[in-house]
Amino acid sequence: MPKVALGEPVTVAHTSHPVLGASLRSYAYVSLSDAGGLSQFGAHLETLDSGARSAHRHWHEAEDELIYLLSGEVVLIEEDETALAAGDVAAWPAGHPVGHCLENRTQAHATYLVVGTRSRADVVHYPDAGLSVTLTDRRHRVFRDASGTVVAEYSSPSVGAS
């Protein structure tokens, strides 16, 4: 297997999500799996700025997720909060209904590897917002409220590892 040439980190400056609301603040990522041409799982190297969150608290019906903290410190937010430091690992099996996200509450950057299944279809639940999103072909998204009513629908050009 040849050495993979990685692209430059992509910096995402978050604004308010059109459906979920609140900003997560900025972070940077490099897609390791895309650079290697992999399609069965996604792997990203992500760096959270001070005060940033990795995502809105969520869980996947069809995708496993794993993070390995490489540097810095974050707080894992589930029903409770758990401090994570470099060398710590957290994992969520597909279908395990525990909403989760990471938050950097320090003044330093925090960098971690995130690996997840790349299912062509998935349902992602956002318990704090009372919403779920059905993804098809990894691009088309249909957001529903707790009653199942469609509240938004759109397609995006591409979707990353998780």
Planar angle of CA 133, 136, 141, nearest 5 degrees = 40
Residue 136 is which amino acid?
T
Residue type, 45: L
Going from the N-terminus, what domains does the chain have, and what CATH number goes with each?
A: 10-119 (2.60.120.10)
CA proximity to 137, closest of 162, 159, 104, 117: 159
Short-list 37, 36, 33, 30, CA closest to 3: 36
Q: Which strands, in side-by-side order, build the sheet including 41-48?
A: 10-12, 27-31, 41-48, 110-117, 65-71, 89-92
Q: What is the mean pLDDT of residues 114-137?
A: 94
Q: What's the length of the chain?
A: 162
> pLDDT digit string (tens) for 36-90?
889 999 999 999 999 999 999 999 999 999 999 999 999 999 999 999 999 999 9
